[in-house]
Structure formats: structure tokens, C-alpha cells
Amino acid sequence: MYKNHKKERFLKFATALLSEKGYKAMTMRELAQRLDCDKSNIYNYIKSKQELLDLLLFDIADKFHRGISDIEASSYTPIDKLKAVIQLHVRMTFENPDKLNIHVNEWRFLDEDRKKVFLNRRNSYEDKIATIVHDGMDNNSFKTGEVQFIKNCILSSIRWMYSWNIKEKKDLNPIELEKNMTDFILSGVMA
């Protein structure tokens, strides 16, 4: 378990640096500096910089996939399914905003083959949300409109919470954020 502890420490620092700099600007040299070891030691934990990116990206993608699958399989109404999606994003953002930053912005640096796999999964995720929107319109709980457009509005609202510097606001707790975000998406800003 000693090795796993070291690898977890490595992944923690790698996630933070990758989020801070972006894939291309992050260097193995700087990562080694933060780990307080030589650059060559990094290759004890990972085969290449590309493999590190791949590992982190699909780790997060898998969590989203499991989350949305559970929601899809539930007997919730469309509105409650949408609320569960919002909850999923808020909780993952609170857990680690850096991971969500990476998930949103760094996938384009994957090798061509893996990028295709990643985008297929992301499209599958978005399709499941579109289905929720569609079903909600069908049973008149959502306003009728263009499904893809509403799906994009919802995703934009929840996808970029990582950039809100949530951790710096100590008075903000995830439950309160979840409530406010749900209220915004369901009923907007107007009184």
C-alpha cells in the first residue's frame, strides 16, 4: 500500500498542476519540482504525459457515466431527474473543481483515437440529458421548445461551476448551492 500512497500523492499534485496550467503548458519539470523529486521519478508512476491525461480524463468521465446511468434507470419524474443531474454536478464540483476543469477543457489534447472515444461518451451523456428534457416537455412539466437548445443552456449553467472559485467561499455549502442552481434552471431570475 506504500506505493499506492505515493501514487495518490503524485496524482493529487498532477491534477492540480494540470488544471492550473493546461496540458501543453504543464511540464514534467514543474510537476517534479512540486513533488520535490527529479523529473525522471515521474515515470515510476506513469508511462508518459499523455497517459497521465488519459487516466485523469477517463476517471472523471466514468464517474459522470455512472451518475447519469443511475439517474436514467430511476423511476424519477423528468423534473426530479433534472434535479439529480444538477446535484451530481454540484457535488462533483465541490469534491474537486480541478478535475472538472480538466474534464471540460483538456480532452482536446488526447490522441486522436482516445479523443474519439471520449467524445462518444460525452455525446452519450448529453443525449441522456436531452432525453430528460424531451420527456419533461412531453408530460408538460417543461415548457415546449428546442430540446438541444435547452440541453445546452442547462449544461452551460452547471458545467462551468468549477470556475466560480467555490472553495474560496467558506460560507457556501453544497446543499445551498444545489438549491440555488436548481431554482435558477427551473424558474430563472425574474420575480
> DSSP secondary structure string, 16-70?
HHHHHH-TTT--HHHHHHHHTS-GGGGGGT-S-HHHHHHHHHHHHHHHHHHHHHH
Contact with a copy of itself (CB under 8 A): which of 22, 32, 61, 96? 22
Contact with DNA (CB under 7 A): which of 17, 18, 49, 136? 49
One character per residue 60-79, x = contact with a copy of itself (rule: CB under 8 A): -------------------x
Inter-residue contact 64 to 125 (CB < 8 Å)? yes
Inter-residue contact 64 to 95 (CB < 8 Å)? no
State which of positions 21-40 bind DNA (CB under 7 A): 26-29, 37-40
* Beta carbon of residue 45, minimum distance to DNA (angstroms, whole number): 8
DSSP designation for 110:
S
Using the contact rule CB under 8 A, the part of the chain among 18-26, 58-66, 84-92, 119-127 near a copy of itself is 18-26
C-alpha cell at 186: 427551473
Inter-residue contact 6 to 15 (CB < 8 Å)? no
Nearer to a copy of itself, 75 or 156 (CB): 156
Of the candidates 143, 14, 122, which has an alpha carbon nearest to the alpha carbon of residue 65?
122
- Residues forming the site for DNA (CB under 7 A): 2-3, 6-7, 26-29, 37-41, 43-44, 47-50
- Residues forming the site for a copy of itself (CB under 8 A): 22, 24-25, 79, 82, 105, 108-109, 133, 136, 140-143, 145-146, 149-150, 152-154, 156-157, 159-161, 164, 177, 180-181, 183-191
